Structure 1
Amino acid sequence: MALKDIRVVLVETAHPGNIGATARAMKTMGLTRLVLVRPVDFPSPEASRRASGAEDLLDGALGPTTLREAVGDCRLVIGCSARTRSFRHALLNARQGAQQLIAEARGGDSVALVFGPERSGLSNADLDLCTHQVQIPTQPNFSSLNLGAAVQILSYEIYLASLAADEEKEGVPSSGTRPALQIEMDHFYAHLEWVLEQRGFLEGELREVTLTKLRRVFTRARPHSGELKLLHSILKLIVPGDPR
């Protein structure tokens, strides 16, 4: 199974009970890697109480202070958000998202499923660190889901996708064609931004909009490491040097 390579990341969770409920939802479906980014109240007796047998997932769950660090070694990062954004990611439903996570985790790479704060959901900045966005289909006139319920639904879909993949025994992609790690993409975005600055392309009030659009282009393309090396070489021909 690829379940061990899937991490569930909670960003700025306000209520410790939701952390415990998430741990329990994950463990019932075979998921064991929980990462907490800047939780408001953790460790907490309430989190342990709501975990109800899944307390082991809470041990060591407190992660780095930024989502960027939490998913830096992942090739696939799927952010769960019910809101439609102005610059769309590749949008998946719960079943499609689960199948994508399992398909890529079977190659031995770490992948992540990310949930934002209960009230506001993932910020645009955090969603920009994701390669895809997943939405759970709900009734349009009442689409609000509790965090624990959302995690349970997606964990269930992931477990079903894992069982189906084990039965099919499909081949996994070779290391040469796997998408680049998120930390590699971050280095590329920094290099691209530096080159565009040197050439005077990012002047004016549309700077951030332009960078966001470019990030989305390469997020959809999902280049592998070899392709990134080629892109870095092209950037160095445009402006010699390295921003790092």
Structure 2
Amino acid sequence: MTPPDRIRIVLVGTQHPGNIGSAARAIKTMGLSRLVLVAPEKPLDIEAHALAAGADDVLSAAVHHASLADALADCRLVLGCTARSRRVALDELLPRDGAARAVAAAGDGAEVALVFGRERTGLSNDELQLCHAAVHIPANPEYSSLNLAAAVQVLSYELRLALLAAQPDDSGGAGRADPPASHAELEGFFGQLAGTLDAIDFHKGRAPDSAMRKLRRLFLRAELDVREVRLLRGILADADRMAMLAGQRR
């Protein structure tokens, strides 16, 4: 069973069958297939299949439950997609962070659910109590009304990105092909970078401390791996050599 097969999209108390069809289309376009319906107000109809736009297989395979607790019984991670103004104290995640957490759990063999509430009222506080964390889409605060299927599309897209990032690369390894650079390797690179900037007169008489602080922050944010540090140090070595040759010509 692959990680996408362990991730289910759960719609609770959906009022309009068309939204279920649109949600099915949204998840299928992002490589997901598991749709769970909890006590929808109306059965699936022609509109649902029309708006599914070819995702009829997802609709046909949708699992129905009478309660959210039943739908989540075998899950080890449950993320509730909701607005912020709730009285239930839950960790709040942005969609990208929630997707990363979901994919990591699914990669470890856990069953994962992303739960979406009713079109008008969302998830109740009792339903949120069943979730391990909340996912909040940072929409425009002056107009934050987001259609149910649109919200499903946003989260499904983030899940897609996280799943692609977790796939093995061409070299056969999972995730990064090379280990992250060690502290000593980074400090060696920074030392060489400082020397090269001096050699090419980058600072033009200005104190180098401010520029080096900014460059350190930039490269530390990039979370360089061992191979990337080697590449950058090779570039610096060539820059040093060219600076030396230019000095000799002068």
Normalised by the shorter chain, which TM-score bucket?
A: 0.5 to 0.7
CA distance in 1 between partners of 2:31 and 2:51 (Å) = 18
User: What is the Cα deviation at residue 167 of structure 1?
Assistant: 4.3
SS in 1 for 2:36: strand
CA distance in 1 between partners of 2:175 and 2:88 (Å) = 33
Superposed, which structure 2 residues align to 1:122-161 within 5 Å?
122-161=123-162
CA distance in 2 between partners of 1:140 and 1:71 (Å) = 31
- Consecutive unaligned residues of structure 2, counting only runs of 5 or more, are 177-250
CA distance in 1 between partners of 2:129 and 2:45 (Å) = 30
Question: 1:169-201, CA deviations, whole angstroms, 9 ceiling, x for partnerless residues?
Answer: 259xxxxxxxxxxxxxxxxxxxxxxxxxxxxxx
Identity %: 53
CA distance in 2 between partners of 1:54 and 1:17 (Å) = 13
Aligned length: 171
CA distance in 1 between partners of 2:88 and 2:156 (Å) = 27
Partner of 1:99: 100
User: What is the Cα deviation at residue 86 of structure 1?
Assistant: 2.3
Is residue 64 of structure 1 aligned with residue 65 of structure 2?
Answer: yes
Larger-Rg structure: 2
User: Structure 1 counterpart of 2:66, which letter?
Assistant: T
User: Structure 2 counterpart of 1:56, which letter?
Assistant: D
Question: 1:34-91, CA deviations, whole angstroms, 9 ceiling, x for partnerless residues?
Answer: 0000111112111111101000011131411000000010000000001322232011
CA distance in 2 between partners of 1:2 and 1:63 (Å) = 22
User: What is the Cα deviation at residue 121 of structure 1?
Assistant: 0.2
CA distance in 2 between partners of 1:14 and 1:113 (Å) = 18
Moved more, 73-82 or 38-47: 38-47
Partner of 1:213: none
Q: 1:56 to 1:84 in 2, by over 3 A?
A: same
User: Structure 1 counterpart of 2:135, which letter?
Assistant: V
User: What is the Cα deviation at residue 111 of structure 1?
Assistant: 0.3
User: What is the Cα deviation at residue 32 of structure 1?
Assistant: 0.4
CA distance in 1 between partners of 2:58 and 2:92 (Å) = 29
Partner of 1:30: 31
CA distance in 1 between partners of 2:88 and 2:47 (Å) = 38
Partner of 2:91: 90
Give yes or no for contact 2:87–2:125 (8 Å, CA) kept in 1. Answer: no
CA distance in 2 between partners of 1:121 and 1:150 (Å) = 11
User: Structure 1 counterpart of 2:102, which letter?
Assistant: L
Give yes or no for contact 2:10–2:37 (8 Å, CA) kept in 1. Answer: yes
Q: What TM-score comes out, normalization by structure 1 length?
A: 0.68
> Once superposed, what is the RMSD of the aligned Cα atoms?
1.5
Superposed, which structure 2 residues align to 1:101-116 within 5 Å?
101-116=102-117
CA distance in 2 between partners of 1:164 and 1:56 (Å) = 26
User: Structure 2 counterpart of 1:48, which letter?
Assistant: H
Partner of 1:179: none
Q: What TM-score comes out, normalization by structure 2 length?
A: 0.66
CA distance in 2 between partners of 1:139 and 1:71 (Å) = 31
CA distance in 1 between partners of 2:141 and 2:121 (Å) = 18
Question: 1:185-233, CA deviations, whole angstroms, 9 ceiling, x for partnerless residues?
Answer: xxxxxxxxxxxxxxxxxxxxxxxxxxxxxxxxxxxxxxxxxxxxxxxxx
CA distance in 2 between partners of 1:64 and 1:114 (Å) = 13
- Consecutive unaligned residues of structure 1, counting only runs of 5 or more, are 172-244
Kindly report structure 1 stretches of 4+ aligned residues shifted beyond 6 Å.
none
